[in-house]
Amino acid sequence: MEVMEEGLVPWLLWRIWKNRNELLFRSKDYQAVATIAKARDDAQEWNSRVKVENVVVKNPITEEQIVRWDPPPSSRLKCNTDGSWKQEDGAGGGGWILRDHEGRMLWAWAKKLLEVGSALESEAEALRWAVSSLIGFGYRDVIFETDSQVLVKMIHGVEEIWPRMKPIIQEISILLSKSAGSEVRYYNRRGNKVADRIAKETTTFTSMVPKLYSIVPSWLGSCVEADKLFV
């Protein structure tokens, strides 16, 4: 209370000034006791705001710190997919990585894409190749994650499918129906960095032949290890 009383004078002067204006323009008068009480309220509210702002400045919690790769349950596997695209020439790339609950890579895939109509199409192609490949390998109950929310909504029938996208979406849906327990989910792109790195690496490829990895390539190692830190 003593600290607040010492700092009350500026707020009391401010409240007196406001009371003066109220009296001049609205013929409204305030008692001295009410004026002092209101000044105390103003000071307390200000001090509370300052404390909150100091906490926010000193301990910022950003979305990037919170969002990271989320490992699957021990009984399931997770496949993250992503696509890249350049509007200038329509070239793109697709990539995916299959990992277990400890973050260990089982398979990864990358392919250069030509004549891609949009970034969404490259995302869809990457997912289509992931679902097709893993079901072909005999995997079941896989969680497929993409950072394209629009693509997930199209697959789940929440959003209208673009005409050019219909064949890709239909194939993904048919493949998923043959894989018991497998599903497609959306996840924030900050938690999809490894798949993003794979898709972007395709810009260095000189061949259209897809690349399948069973051992983590050197250019991907640091990204995979970074995700393991949070397992």
Domain boundaries defined on the chain = 2-60, 67-228
pTM of the entire predicted model: 0.72
Provide the pLDDT for residue 1.
40
82 pLDDT more than 80: yes
Angle (nearest 5°) at CA 171 between 140 and 217: 60
Which H/E stretch holds residue 126?
Answer: helix 119-136
209 pLDDT more than 90: yes
| Interatomic CA distance for residues 193 and 99, integer angstroms | 14
- Report CA Rg, the chain: 29
Give me the CATH code for the 67-228 domain, please. 3.30.420.10
Point out the least confidently predicted range of 45-49, 110-114, 142-146: 45-49
Provide the pLDDT for residue 70.
95
Between 23 and 97, the higher pLDDT residue:
97
pLDDT band at 25 (very low <50, low <70, confident <90, very high): low
Provide the pLDDT for residue 220.
97
pLDDT band at 3 (very low <50, low <70, confident <90, very high): very low
At residue 13, the 3 state secondary structure works out as: helix
Q: Which of 58, 80, 66 is closest to 129 using CA atoms?
A: 80
Between 41 and 90, the higher pLDDT residue:
90
Angle of helix 193-201 versus helix 119-136 axis, rounded to 10: 100
142 pLDDT more than 90: yes
Residue-averaged pLDDT of the chain = 86
Provide the pLDDT for residue 7.
67
16-42 burial, b for 16+ CB within 10 Å, e for fewer? eeebeeeeeeeeeebeeeeeeebbbeb
Kindly state the average pLDDT of the residues 6-22. 73
58 pLDDT more than 80: no
Q: 137 CB contacts (<8 Å, ≥6 apart)?
A: 107
Kindly state the average pLDDT of the residues 194-211. 95
The sign of the dihedral angle between the CA atoms of 51, 52, 53, 55 is: positive
